[in-house]
Each structure stands twice: as C-alpha cells, then as structure tokens.
Amino acid sequence: MKIVISAVVAAFLLIGCSEDSSKKIDEAASKTKESVTQTQEAAKEVVKSTNEMVEKAKVVAAKVVEASKEVAVEAQKIADETIEATKKTINEVAKDVQDATATVDNGKTLFKACAGCHGASGEKAALGKSQVIQAWSAEETEHALNGYKDGSYGGAMKGLMKGQVSKLSDSDIKAVSEYISKL
C-alpha cells in the first residue's frame, strides 16, 4: 500500500506540476503569439512606410526627369542660338575681310594713277613740290584727299590734285587712303 500511496502522491505531484507547467507553457505561448502579432504589425507598418517612400521617390524622380528634360531643351536652345550667332559673326567677319580685300585691291588699282608722281611706294615728293606720302596714316591721307577735292587743302599742288581727286567717290578715297597707309 505504501507503494500505491507513493504512486498516488507522485501522480498528484506530477499532475500538479504538469498543470503548473502547462499554465506556464500556455502563458509563454500566449506571450509569444502576442509578440509575433506585434512584430507582424510592426513589419506591416515598415512595409507601408517603405511603399509610401517608394511612391514619393517615384514622384521626385519623375519631377527630376522632367526638370532635366526642360534643362536639356533650354541648353539645346542656347546652343542653337550660340551657333547661329557664331555663324552670323563669321559671315560678317568674312564679308568684312572680303570688303577689306576689295578695298585694298581697289586702292591698289586707284593708286596706279598716283604712282606716276608719288612713286610706286609713295616714296617721292610729287614733281619735287609735295610731301612724301609713304608714311602717312589712312586718316591723314583721307583728310588731304578730301581737302583737295573740296578745295580746302593744299599748297603748290592744290590745282593739280583737285583735278585728280574730283573724280573719286568717298569710298574710292577711303580705299586709296587705306592702301597708301600700308605702303
């Protein structure tokens, strides 16, 4: 009987222990479920927040792309305008060079009538009575030729020079003056 009593007492102890353990296990399982649920809720919030940030990033990226396109279009417009302005400047310079070349050529042609008295390089005093014009500037020559033409300039050679320059246009006087300045 002692054995049966011991077995019953042991069974009660084991049942009591197992009920207590079972309660603890149930509590731990409940806490674990609660913790898992909280973790799942936190994970859902993180996913939701991440999705919101991704959407905001997409909007910002779209705005950046659009702004980049606008900048690229504006840059292309500026580049096109710069190219056109450069072409215009090049054409104007080319025309100026062409005009200058024509002026020099015209001045050289016109000076042939002067070379008989002033020398091929403007190194002579015409008929021994005028100044040597070889070192004159274009402005000085132009002033003298216009003065001969209107009668306001000249000494002993005034009458002769008036007849020579009277047939020259203003552009002819400018051309021959430029040519003489480079002699």
Residues 6+ apart with CB under 8 A from 143: 153
Q: Cα separation of 108 and 102, whole Å?
A: 10
- How confident is the model over 50-82, as pLDDT tens digits? 888 888 888 888 888 888 888 888 888 888 888
- How confident is the model over 23-57, as pLDDT tens digits? 777 776 677 777 778 878 877 888 888 888 888 88
Percent of the chain with pLDDT over 70: 82
Q: Cα separation of 12 and 62, whole Å?
A: 73
3-class DSSP string for the chain: CHHHHHHHHHHHHHHHHHHHHHHHHHHHHHHHHHHHHHHHHHHHHHHHHHHHHHHHHHHHHHHHHHHHHHHHHHHHHHHHHHHHHHHHHHHHHHHHHHHHHHHHHHHHHHHHHHHHHHCCCCCCCHHHCCCCCCCCCHHHHHHHHHHHHHCCCCCCCHHHHHHHHCCCCHHHHHHHHHHHHCC
pLDDT at 124: 93
Residue 120 has pLDDT above 60, yes or no: yes
pLDDT at 94: 64
Residue 8 has pLDDT above 50, yes or no: no
121 neighbors 134 (Cβ within 8 angstroms): yes
pTM above 0.85, yes or no: no
11 neighbors 5 (Cβ within 8 angstroms): no
Structure tokens at 18: 């197992």
Q: Cα separation of 156 and 147, whole Å?
A: 14
